[in-house]
Amino acid sequence: MVPRRAGAILCTATWCRRCRGNEMDGATLEVEDVAMTAVYLASDEARLVSGHNLVVDGGFTIGKLAGKVAVITGGASGIGKAAAAEFVANGAKVIIADVQDELGHAVAAELGHDVAEYTRCDVADESQVAAAVELALARHGVRVNAVSPHGVATPLAVSGFRGLFPAASEEELRWFIEEGMNELDGEKLEAEDIARAAVYLASDEAKYVTGHNLVVDGGFTVVRRFLNMSSITEGNRINMSRIEVS
Ligand SMILES: NC(=O)c1ccc[n+]([C@@H]2O[C@H](COP(=O)([O-])OP(=O)(O)OC[C@H]3O[C@@H](n4cnc5c(N)ncnc54)[C@H](O)[C@@H]3O)[C@@H](O)[C@H]2O)c1
The domain that holds 100 is classified in CATH as 3.40.50.720
- Closest by Cα among 64, 63, 81 to 72: 81
Atom of ligand 1 nearest to the CA of 128: 32
* pTM confidence score: 0.75
Please write the tens of the pLDDT for every residue from 193-244.
999 999 999 998 998 898 899 999 998 888 876 666 666 777 667 776 655 4
Atom of ligand 1 nearest to the CA of 79: 16
Of 85, 111, 142, which residue constitutes the final position of a domain?
Answer: 142
Separation between Cα atoms, residue 78 and residue 92, nearest integer Å? 19
101 part of a folded domain: yes
- Do 87 and 24 fall into the same domain? no
Q: Which residue has a Cα nearest atom 36 of ligand 1?
A: 74
Q: Which residue has a Cα nearest atom 26 of ligand 1?
A: 74
Q: Which residue has a Cα nearest atom 7 of ligand 1?
A: 149
Q: Is 144 in the pocket of ligand 1 (CB under 6 A)?
A: no
55 part of a folded domain: yes
- Do 94 and 129 fall into the same domain? yes
Q: Is 73 in the pocket of ligand 1 (CB under 6 A)?
A: yes
Instruction: Label residue 173 left, alpha or beta by phi (over 0 means left) and psi (-120 to 50 means alpha).
Output: alpha
State which residues form the domain around 212. 147-229
- Do 14 and 52 fall into the same domain? yes
- Do 73 and 138 fall into the same domain? yes
- Do 154 and 208 fall into the same domain? yes
242 part of a folded domain: no
Please write the tens of the pLDDT for every residue from 76-97.
999 999 999 999 999 999 999 9
In 3-state terms the chain splits into helix, strand, coil percentages (rounded to 5) of: 40, 15, 45
- Do 58 and 13 fall into the same domain? yes
- Do 153 and 213 fall into the same domain? yes
Q: How many domains would you assign to the chain?
A: 3
184 part of a folded domain: yes
14 part of a folded domain: yes
- Closest by Cα among 31, 21, 93 to 58: 21
243 part of a folded domain: no
- Do 137 and 119 fall into the same domain? yes
1 part of a folded domain: no
Please write the tens of the pLDDT for every residue from 94-146.
999 999 999 999 999 999 999 999 999 999 999 998 888 888 775 456 787 88
Q: Is 128 in the pocket of ligand 1 (CB under 6 A)?
A: no
